[in-house]
Structure 1
């Protein structure tokens, strides 16, 4: 992300481009938080000092664990549930054997002091994270760095950073930092911050997740912020455009204040839509579902007005365990908690989407040239049938407590389809053999590989429903790593080839009389809602915070009038140019 100044550094101020991760506009005085990364002292120790260094390391880990557990215990009732979950991730990382055993190795075998050993192992694990294909898991490197930073602080005997004081009582503040951990976010939320800007981070970083859950405008990945923003500068955080404006001109400030008022009015209007049925003007019912990542998120989805969960990612159960896979009972408890949190509404559980390129897997393979094309998702599950059936049994048991659907990721071959279904049958037979209670589940497949989209009829012959994972479908169809800045601008959900695949899958599902949903970022983008409606989509699954904006588009749309226009968009060489021409007397959202 580069800094740019559309109108120079004159009356319009300085503009910094980053990633939009939490919508809205924040205006306030900048509060800069210095990068907390400490330089580690590098020295060799004598063999007789090894045990002392190991003891220092254990002491630092235990102290940080107690610090995080205290923060968990002191969480206020109104704290976002995501915050508690992210603090737990940091506690688990402290206990991760990959981190602990690696640090011990550098101390015992190389005679490094504790600080040096800790930063060396951080570099080793950071390289593994950098090679991950999954964006969410790749972003967890920042969490590991934050955990190590806290341990280094303990080893140095330094105090934890505190929320900076500010003389202006009632002055809105915007926090500008290199990065923010969940514990930092908990401290800073007690102060009058109206927005966040970080130099590091991506759309799935914890800063982004917590900012969305707190409904605070945020821009991450604004790399020039630490150089261009000065303490106490007036800045504007445009969370819709991913833009930070430093020292804005009076007319720019006035324009954004007007936008703030408009956004406030729109949010009041959207809040009133929460429990309204999602029906188009011509009477077409549309299902609005939520994507969740933790069992606690189920209650958040229900409060947001979702009529179910279209995607429950189960990877959180497999992370930070030092290669130890979660057992059936632990998974069952997590899935049951999510089912019960849905209060009778349906929950779609996706089987684990990790693989041999992830350090959380036992015996992870080094040197994987193309992790995205390797042994991951359903391929890894089928290669580890005992692990797979452990998860399947836990899901089937949870299904005894509510409506559950099971979703398989990254299928591409009929042999994979048959094997996955056979594993479900075997898991059910194993539960029957031991007299364990279980419930019925519908089986579905993710359409996220072009091959799956092209053979959608065969998929529909075997599954009860389909879910289009547009994030990966776009990535694989266009050969684009959307996290790679060099090619990210080529990641295009409106590419004609992508739209044709999405349209074909929706149409084939309708012909077969089986439901098809979209659970990728396209589903939560209000500017694409009318197009997807025109293509026949009647089930959208997205982050809970996006539900009401998409519902507003649905309520204002006439689905029948959108069909011919959607066909024109589909046939166009430049589909994006047609978006503003949506019928119904109003343009599609920009």
Structure 2
């Protein structure tokens, strides 16, 4: 007897898939506290070293199976895990625990895993907080070999063509292997929109729903499943009417993909002749190719903190410069906006130690431009590299977490000093480097007019702006229902910033998730936004809306929306604006 089942999770990768379930019960391996005798230390160290070597071979085998045409960031997941197998903070500390505390290898490994995971859990940035997955996945790889028990995914050799994989969680290596075997979609019990499974699914163009609690308990292998990666819905044993609906959607999705590809080379110009700049957000230099592939006219945000993570030293000026020039060359004349490092208590570099250990709330502590100004020897090599990269292509610098004018003045003073240094050294640089500020705290939005007088451009970071304004963490299950991009306070701060830029002829962009969400495109156009920066995969969908938009009409509708903001539900006003 089959029973219909509907699960709701987090939409992680858009599109729809229909296929039989393949359920894996694999979860995180655990260990039992076990003491060893002093004369057993050598044996335990040998067990650990052997397991690490086996994990390394397994990961290299998966990496060798990645097709050359696959997006580069997929291989980066495996490369990150390979590097972690040699990480002093992980493996050497486990060896130390074995020697000093006389614990078994698996218990020592679990203790160090818990220590590192707690560090990531304390981070404020959603993307970096989810890097705890790296630790857990690498440890789980090692633990599986320590226990001599391969995962169910490793144990099975069956063909998964067209199957929907249902799991507690998926390691990057598993996800890649499953996709290579033909898996049509992923469904996991854990994870959020920036979890590894979600990111990989989007990169692999695999429909996925994550965070469907306890689904491995309710689904049996072989049951027919429908996975709706747009709504976060999973259906088991769907009726004929539902299946017909989703098959029709599949056809429509494929047709839409083909249509969007026809828009790549079309300029983003509205029906009333207004040109809109569609820019890309980059996490890694390799993402520049995806930006160009999707028709971006430049990069509105390149996050540089990833140069500092998972290492025990700091990148020097040469490394910064080489990285930036890689992107400059890949963009081939398109502008590049480099966000200066946004490190702090919530995004740590081992080489920096703990900048602010006494801070109770990392989100409100020593981070972003605050840390840079406190540690100028950390900041100056990056600014020198940005200046030098500007001699070889259109490069701009963008300052994160700006809250007052003095921070901007201090940065401009440092840049002036560095220009003199570079001139004295005979090194080429951009003497007219543009410097902008991110608007991601309410203070910056409220002072947008004053900021716009002193910088070359502004960029609204809606992710943090929303969290700081509404005092909520969007990844906290107990309060994330309050995360609301169209809360009246948010809309007023966004409008205030755009109007300040317009009044002073200072360009204003938006680089937060709101910029890449089609629900808000017409509203943002109506508010006067003309520069949108987003993940490369969202560009064509936003361009489609822009091509059909009339900014004069949308400005009229946006004015009407604000007139009713205190009397009506903002969501209803937004629906009316989009439907009119």
TM-score for the superposition, normalised by structure 2: 0.94
Instruction: State how far apart, in whole Å, the 2-side matches of 1:428 and 1:93 are.
Output: 38
Q: 1:394 maps to which residue? A: 385
Q: Summarize deviations over 1:36-89 as a string: whole Å, max 9, x none.
A: 422325322222333443343334334433443444344311212110122222
Structure 1 residues 97 and 359, CA, compared in 2 at 3 Å: closer, same or farther? farther
Q: 1:540 maps to which residue? A: 532
Structure 1 residues 419 and 51, CA, compared in 2 at 3 Å: closer, same or farther? farther
Q: 2:573 maps to which residue? A: 578
SS at structure 2 position matched to 1:401 = coil
Q: 1:340 maps to which residue? A: 329
Residue 276 of structure 2 corresponds to residue 281 of structure 1: no
Q: Is the 8 A contact 1:280 1:286 kept in 2?
A: yes
From 448, 456, 459, give the equivalent of 1:464: 456
Instruction: State how far apart, in whole Å, the 1-side matches of 2:540 and 2:338 are.
Output: 23
Residue 374 of structure 2 corresponds to residue 379 of structure 1: no
Structure 1 residues 395 and 74, CA, compared in 2 at 3 Å: closer, same or farther? farther
Q: Could you tell me how far 1:459 is from its partner in structure 2?
A: 1.0
Q: Where in structure 1 are there 5+ consecutive unaligned residues?
A: 1-8
Q: Which stretch has the larger CA shift, 140-149 or 220-229?
A: 220-229
SS at structure 2 position matched to 1:349 = strand
Q: 2:35 maps to which residue? A: 44
Instruction: State how far apart, in whole Å, the 2-side matches of 1:427 and 1:76 are.
Output: 44
Residue 178 of structure 2 corresponds to residue 188 of structure 1: yes
Q: Summarize deviations over 1:310-356 as a string: whole Å, max 9, x none.
A: 1111122111114x222222222222111111111111111111212
1:70-89, aligned counterparts within 5 Å? Answer: 70-89=61-80
Structure 1 residues 430 and 181, CA, compared in 2 at 3 Å: closer, same or farther? farther
Q: Is the 8 A contact 1:19 1:202 kept in 2?
A: yes
Q: Is the 8 A contact 1:85 1:294 kept in 2?
A: no
Instruction: State how far apart, in whole Å, the 2-side matches of 1:73 and 1:35 are.
Output: 23
Q: 1:220 maps to which residue? A: 210
Q: Is the 8 A contact 1:128 1:358 kept in 2?
A: no
Q: 1:108 maps to which residue? A: 99
Q: Is the 8 A contact 1:356 1:376 kept in 2?
A: yes
Q: 1:5 maps to which residue? A: none
Q: 1:197 maps to which residue? A: 187
Instruction: State how far apart, in whole Å, the 2-side matches of 1:291 and 1:243 are.
Output: 28
Q: 1:298 maps to which residue? A: 288
Q: 1:3 maps to which residue? A: none
From 238, 249, 265, give the equivalent of 1:259: 249
SS at structure 1 position matched to 2:278 = strand
SS at structure 1 position matched to 2:519 = helix
Q: Is the 8 A contact 1:354 1:376 kept in 2?
A: yes
Q: Where in structure 2 are there 5+ consecutive unaligned residues?
A: none
Structure 1 residues 467 and 76, CA, compared in 2 at 3 Å: closer, same or farther? same
Q: 1:566 maps to which residue? A: 558
Q: Which stretch has the larger CA shift, 259-268 or 521-530?
A: 259-268
1:501-540, aligned counterparts within 5 Å? Answer: 501-540=493-532
Instruction: State how far apart, in whole Å, the 2-side matches of 1:529 and 1:246 are.
Output: 34
Q: 2:12 maps to which residue? A: 21
Q: Summarize deviations over 1:392-444 as a string: whole Å, max 9, x none.
A: 22222322332111111111022211122223233333433433333353111
SS at structure 2 position matched to 1:180 = coil
Q: 2:425 maps to which residue? A: 434
From 247, 250, 266, give the equivalent of 2:240: 250
From 74, 88, 96, give the equivalent of 2:87: 96
Instruction: State how far apart, in whole Å, the 1-side matches of 2:66 and 2:18 are.
Output: 27
Q: Summarize deviations over 1:450-490 as a string: whole Å, max 9, x none.
A: 00000011211221111100010000011111010111111
Q: 1:6 maps to which residue? A: none
1:303-342, aligned counterparts within 5 Å? Answer: 303-322=293-312, 324-342=313-331
Q: Is the 8 A contact 1:97 1:321 kept in 2?
A: no
Instruction: State how far apart, in whole Å, the 1-side matches of 2:47 and 2:388 are.
Output: 44
Residue 414 of structure 2 corresponds to residue 423 of structure 1: yes
Q: Could you tell me how far 1:97 is from its partner in structure 2?
A: 2.1
Q: Which runs of 4+ in 1 moved over 4 A?
A: 163-167
TM-score for the superposition, normalised by structure 1: 0.93
Aligned residues: 573
Structure 1 residues 187 and 111, CA, compared in 2 at 3 Å: closer, same or farther? same
Structure 1 residues 178 and 131, CA, compared in 2 at 3 Å: closer, same or farther? same
